[in-house]
Amino acid sequence: MATYNVYVLFFLLVFVCIQLITPSTCDGALTSGCIPAERRALLEFKRGLKDPTNRLSSWVGEDCCQWEGVTCSNHTGHVVKLDLQNPHPFSDFGDDPYNNWTLGGELRPSLLGLKHLKYLDLSMNNFGGINIPEFMGSFHQLQYLNLSSAGLGGVLPHQLANLSNLQYLDLSNDVSDILVHVNEFSIGDALWISHLSSLKHLILGNVNFQNGAHWLEALNMLPSIVEIYLSSCEIGSVPFSLPHVNFTSLSVLDLSYNSINSTIPSWLFNISSLEHLDLSENFFQGNIPPAFGNLTSLKGLTLANNPLQGGIPTSFRNLCKLQNLISSSINISKDLLEFDEIFSGCIKMSLESLNLSGTNISGQLPEWLFQLRKLKSLQLKGI
């Protein structure tokens, strides 16, 4: 037995030594310097770009792994990351709307020469409204794709369905500041999204859903999805029910600013993993459903600016993790005392901010308010 173990140890040592002496020689890669074919692919891609401030001036010489925005694997030498995000997306020159740090021009298919690409960020540039090239669907290793505010447009290409390793997809517009160039995408028939079986984070804010189809079915088929941001997508309506609610890992759902004119859909209440839900700035009608009390993982809930009426259901007392409740500008007519039953529940241990401004609540400051141990921010009617 002992001899046998010594042999095993010997072979293990030999194996480790071989690994140490010949780092990744099997695919001809070196740990310094880049792979010539990938260097050529990058140079050809650069030729298609417009680069007014010469951001890519470092793209000369042999070692493409040292070029601005390019990262190679230490292990294989392959280019694994290309980050060409505009570092100065907002004009440095006052209100100058023609920010010249943006890259533009064409997106040449030579990029496909980077067969091991895992991360691609072209955000905050301006490609003049061209479509996402279909070849983008052929980066089989891609895990991260960020085309937010890149001045792209058109219907999203279904070829992206082949990105089976994709975990992050961001096609949104950053509307947090005055932005120079934005995407103008429409979703089209979204069934292809259901093939993105590794997708965890989907950010489609400002993508137009008006003539979209199958998007909710498609999202409901993503087994790993954790975050869905669909703010300002002109969604208009959502089905009240679904045949089966598949979202088992969904933590964040943002449906704000969509002019959704319907009652709050029932399928939401089957997503027990939900931590942050934003339904604000829509036309959700009717009463606030008591079923919210079933979403016991909720940490943040925003219902602001909807023509909802009635009151806050008593079941909210069960939301033991809720930190932020924004129920402003909804049609509540109540005496503050009437909320006693809610805010004496376990919600009182977690609530950090409460916004009921713009509602029709009345009465004196009630006792329960002083029991909200973690409260940091409070906004009541007219205050």
Ligand X SMILES: *[C@@H]1O[C@H](CO)[C@@H](O)[C@H](O)[C@H]1NC(C)=O
**Which residues form the interface with ligand X (CB under 6 A)?**
52-53, 74, 85, 93, 96, 100, 123-124, 134, 137-138, 146, 148, 159, 162, 168, 170, 174, 201, 203, 217, 220-221, 223, 242-246, 261, 266-267, 269-270, 283, 291, 294, 304-305, 307, 309, 328-329, 331, 333, 355, 357-358, 360, 362, 377, 379
- For 346-378, b/e burial (b = at least 16 CB within 10 A) is ebbebbbbbbbbbbebeeeeeebbeebeeeeeb
| 3 state SS of 290 | helix
3-state SS record for 319-349: CCCCCEEECCCCEEEEEHHHHHHHHCCHHHH
Kindly state the helix (H) or strand (E) to which residue 47 belongs, with its residue range.
Answer: helix 36-48
Decide whether 39 or 55 has the Cβ nearer to ligand X: 55
Decide whether 42 or 142 has the Cβ nearer to ligand X: 142
Torsion sign across C-alpha atoms 228, 234, 238, 243: negative
Decide whether 146 or 251 has the Cβ nearer to ligand X: 146
CB of 17 to ligand X, least distance (A): 22
Decide whether 8 or 68 has the Cβ nearer to ligand X: 68
CB of 11 to ligand X, least distance (A): 29
CB of 140 to ligand X, least distance (A): 8
CB of 316 to ligand X, least distance (A): 13
Whole-angstrom CA distances from 314 to 224, 320, 371 are 33, 13, 17
Whole-angstrom CA distances from 204 to 63, 177, 186 are 36, 17, 10
CB of 153 to ligand X, least distance (A): 17
Decide whether 7 or 51 has the Cβ nearer to ligand X: 51
Give the DSSP letter of residue 52: T
Give residue for tokens 């010949």: 22
CB of 8 to ligand X, least distance (A): 31
CB of 7 to ligand X, least distance (A): 34
Burial label for 73, CB within 10 Å (0-12, 13-18, 19+), is middle
Q: Give the contacts of 269 (CB within 8 A, at least 6 positions apart).
A: 289, 291, 292, 294, 295
Decide whether 110 or 357 has the Cβ nearer to ligand X: 357
Decide whether 153 or 236 has the Cβ nearer to ligand X: 236
Spatial distance between the Cα atoms of 71 and 58, rounded to a whole number of angstroms: 13
Decide whether 14 or 124 has the Cβ nearer to ligand X: 124
Decide whether 12 or 303 has the Cβ nearer to ligand X: 303
Q: Give the contacts of 171 (CB within 8 A, at least 6 positions apart).
A: 147, 148, 152, 156, 183, 185, 203, 204, 207
CB of 3 to ligand X, least distance (A): 40
| 3 state SS of 254 | strand
Spatial distance between the Cα atoms of 197 and 225, rounded to a whole number of angstroms: 9
